[in-house]
A = this chain, B = another copy of it.
């Protein structure tokens, strides 16, 4: 058990858990990775005021704080080490208000995305960002990672859905950014600066988010292809044909076998396309026509129940693969037009290294998740070679090492491959300007 000397005085400020079990539960995230040892304590404030007091306390005592939402992150962003205190925001979980006329909601950070979406649906609205983890991830965590998801290619990700934030800064002061829904260019775009900052610049304690009308209709096309290269080229055809469809998901054969073995017996890759609005069915039918050229099977439905079932299958991809063994979850992204080259390139890398890779993609956004099977958790040289080659390929294609999961702790070693010294220095200057003592989530993101 780790020493808990650093937490003196904390208990008086907010509910604090120093039990081994509590600290064990808060030491990692869904990447499965955590540093050796346990964090010193888990503090779970009940109010914004308590958050401010905790941050002030941490600043005064130079105790590193690790903000934590629902712990569903995939890069160790919320992982905490000895000497650190976890700042658990899950207790701040109220939808404070929802204004159907303004199409906005004011929410606390611990609200689970699906709960907000359900509350919005009661008014014919939806919260657009829908990562695969929509049923378990928190608003605060998704803001801190600028989460994407299945709808973000057309409708934008978390950044586009956030109108304004309340953020507790590293000195404990409370910053309000943005507006309650108005377009604004007053000052620098602080909202966008905090979105995606992974808890390193401030603690999100409240957000005003935009809601969108539910589409009047949706239609869904599914298509089975002989192999992933053909499916990826079909994506290119769809993208060239017009505006990007709201949802365009691709699963390779390995992933398909994990989520739906029967389907995997009949084909080598799967595509799921969703269209929206009054012409949804007509658009879907037209897209199905495009896909029929190369697909083995194509199906179109405008039945929302069946569509939801198909989406659920897709959302299950990550946990389904994880049941096959421990994987490194990569998250590269390329310009959508380069998707086919990236997908076939990843296949070639796996063939070369002989490491098993499960690949699926938010294809419309160019975000690709190659899940690289480890040797029972061990990262062998071949596994390392595989992931390094995948990242290098994405960068060569004009892409990035993280399309939506963030850098966290696990992707930092690749930062110099993507960002030159000027860019890295600029990030550190901003960090130093807002958190000079380095209290907030040190060692993450940048």
Nearest Cβ in chain B — how far from A265, in angstroms? 33
Distance in angstroms between the alpha carbons of A392 and B236 in the assembled complex: 50
Q: Is A20's CB within 8 Å of the partner chain B?
A: no
Q: Which of A262-321 contact B (CB under 8 A)?
A: 277-279, 282-283
Distance in angstroms between the alpha carbons of A439 and B101 in the assembled complex: 45
A445 contacts which chain B residues (CB < 8 A)? 187-188
| Copies of this chain per assembly | 2
Q: Is A349's CB within 8 Å of the partner chain B?
A: no
Distance in angstroms between the alpha carbons of A179 and B156 in the assembled complex: 16
Q: Is A407's CB within 8 Å of the partner chain B?
A: yes
Q: Which of A184-234 contact B (CB under 8 A)?
A: 184-190, 192-193, 195-197, 201, 212-213, 216
Segment from A246-254, A322-330, A352-360, A398-406 that makes contact with B: A398-406
A333 contacts which chain B residues (CB < 8 A)? 179, 182-184
Q: Which of B152, B187, B283 is the one whose CB lies under 8 Å from A183?
A: B152
Q: Is the CB of A422 within 8 A of B169?
A: yes
Q: Is A3's CB within 8 Å of the partner chain B?
A: no
Q: Is A68's CB within 8 Å of the partner chain B?
A: no
Q: Assign chain A's interface to a size class.
A: 35 or more
Q: Is A419's CB within 8 Å of the partner chain B?
A: yes
Distance in angstroms between the alpha carbons of A135 and B279 in the assembled complex: 34
Distance in angstroms between the alpha carbons of A422 and B400 in the assembled complex: 34
Q: Which of B196, B212, B279, B418 is the one whose CB lies under 8 Å from A243?
A: B212
Q: Which of A161-186 contact B (CB under 8 A)?
A: 169, 173-177, 179-186
Contact A183:B367 (CB < 8 A) given known A243-B213, A434-B429: yes
Q: Is the CB of A337 within 8 A of B187?
A: no
Q: Is A335's CB within 8 Å of the partner chain B?
A: yes
A336 contacts which chain B residues (CB < 8 A)? 102, 181-182
Contact A186:B242 (CB < 8 A) given known A282-B278, A429-B433: no
Q: Is A348's CB within 8 Å of the partner chain B?
A: no
Q: Is the CB of B404 within 8 A of A185?
A: yes
Distance in angstroms between the alpha carbons of A387 and B101 in the assembled complex: 28
Q: Is the CB of A402 within 8 A of B186?
A: yes
Proximity string of chain A (389-424) to chain B, C-beta cutoff 8 Å, 1 when within and 0 when not: 000001000111111111100000001001110111
Q: Which of A418-446 contact B (CB under 8 A)?
A: 418-420, 422-424, 426-427, 429-430, 432-434, 445-446
Q: Is A1's CB within 8 Å of the partner chain B?
A: no
Q: Is the CB of A188 within 8 A of B201?
A: yes
Which residue from chain B places its CB closest to the CB of A401 in the assembled complex? B186
Nearest Cβ in chain B — how far from A92, in angstroms? 20
Distance in angstroms between the alpha carbons of A156 and B155 in the assembled complex: 10
A188 contacts which chain B residues (CB < 8 A)? 193, 196-197, 201, 427, 430, 445-446
Q: Is A27's CB within 8 Å of the partner chain B?
A: no
Q: Is the CB of B186 within 8 A of A195?
A: no
Q: Is the CB of A403 within 8 A of B184?
A: yes
Q: Is the CB of B426 within 8 A of A183?
A: no
Which residue from chain B places its CB closest to the CB of A148 in the assembled complex? B183
Q: Is A49's CB within 8 Å of the partner chain B?
A: no
Contact A177:B433 (CB < 8 A) given known A196-B188, A405-B185: no
Distance in angstroms between the alpha carbons of A404 and B184 in the assembled complex: 7
Which residue from chain B places its CB closest to the CB of A189 in the assembled complex? B192
Given contacts A181-B337, A430-B433, 20 further A-B contacts (CB under 8 A): A104-B335, A146-B189, A148-B185, A169-B426, A176-B423, A179-B333, A181-B335, A182-B334, A182-B366, A183-B366, A183-B367, A185-B405, A186-B401, A186-B415, A189-B192, A189-B193, A192-B193, A212-B243, A430-B434, A432-B433
* Interface pairs (7), CB distance under 8 Å: A102-B335, A169-B426, A179-B400, A182-B399, A186-B401, A187-B427, A430-B433
Residues of A within 8 A of B (CB): 99, 101-104, 145-146, 148, 152-153, 156-157, 159-160, 169, 173-177, 179-190, 192-193, 195-197, 201, 212-213, 216, 240, 242-243, 277-279, 282-283, 333-338, 365-367, 394, 398-407, 415, 418-420, 422-424, 426-427, 429-430, 432-434, 445-446
